[in-house]
Structure 1
Amino acid sequence: MIIVYIIAGIITLFILLQLIVQLRAKFRTGKKIDNLPGHIGDIVRQGAKVLLYFYSPNCGSCKTQTPVIDEMARDTKNIYKVDVSRDLKTAMILGVMGTPSTVIIESGIVKKYFIGYKNKQTLLKFFS
């Protein structure tokens, strides 16, 4: 019986952690971003609409999401990939807690924050 409680506790903890990540992402939406470093920061400060895709080399879901982002970037400008293992500062400023994450910024404001894999149609719905 103890094993059942342990398994239930682990499942509950996993669900709570997912909920916390989703809520943090939701609370980032609508926030002004004016302190991003480098070229991406310059583009954001100009008020452009920007899609930032956060990934890591060891992320399994990123291996599925990255080709979608690459395809979009061929046809659309202001789409940037951010490797969190090389640019942790940008990820921290935007509160990225896991990969893949996609953040859409317009006029310096976070408009949409996605966690996990999203198909091209979903991303284009918010970034077109």
Structure 2
Amino acid sequence: MPKPYPARYRANPNRKGKIMSSELIVHTGDAAFEQDVLKSDLPVLLDFWAPWCGPCKMIAPILDDIAAEFEGRLKVVKINIDDNEATPSRFGVRGIPTLMVFKNGDVVATKVGALAKGQLTAFVEASIA
């Protein structure tokens, strides 16, 4: 039997129906994508992921760190590609994890595959500058 996820990765019932990886990460879906990502006042780092994806699990704690480090300057959002097929299709996602940075509703940078924290930090800093 698999171990349960640590408490910080479980659903938080106090967050208006959104499932959170941490208090700073928003999980979105096809229906809420426009509001959560395209209409965001802050730049958005969007993670296309799936629960069965090993590299996605590897970068999850790094995304938590990025969300904390860039709080107030960047919004970190995750979308499960198994539960939401329209958005990955719309943006041509072919592999996961795929990370995209959005500014003012437009994709300004994309990376496919797991990144180390230093690489992800540099990617974000260059993308939101």
RMSD over aligned Cα atoms? 2.1
Instruction: Tell me what 1:103 maps to.
Output: 100
Q: Does 1:56 align with 2:50?
A: yes
Structure 2: give runs of 5+ residues left out of the alignment.
Answer: 1-28
The 5-angstrom pairing of residues 1-128 of structure 1 reads 37-42=30-35, 43-46=37-40, 48-75=42-69, 76=71, 77-128=74-125
Contact 1:104 1:113 in 2 (8 A): yes
Bigger fraction of residues in helix: 1
Deviation at residue 61 of structure 1 after TM alignment: 1.2
With a CA cutoff of 8 Å and minimum separation of 6, indicate the structure with the bigger relative contact order.
1
Q: TM-score, normalising length from structure 1?
A: 0.62
Cα 1:78–1:45 shift into 2, 3 Å:
same
Structure 1 CA distance, aligned partners of 2:33 and 2:64? 17
Structure 1: give runs of 5+ residues left out of the alignment.
Answer: 1-35
Deviation at residue 106 of structure 1 after TM alignment: 1.0
Larger Rg: 1
Q: Single out whichever of 87-96 and 70-79 deviates more from structure 2.
A: 70-79
- 1:6-33 Cα offsets, whole Å, 9 max, x none, are xxxxxxxxxxxxxxxxxxxxxxxxxxxx
Structure 1 runs (4+) deviating above 4 angstroms are none
Q: TM-score, normalising length from structure 2?
A: 0.62
Structure 1 CA distance, aligned partners of 2:40 and 2:54? 34
**Percent identity of paired positions between Structure 1 and Structure 2:** 26
Number of residue pairs aligned between Structure 1 and Structure 2: 93
Deviation at residue 84 of structure 1 after TM alignment: 0.7
Contact 1:53 1:101 in 2 (8 A): yes
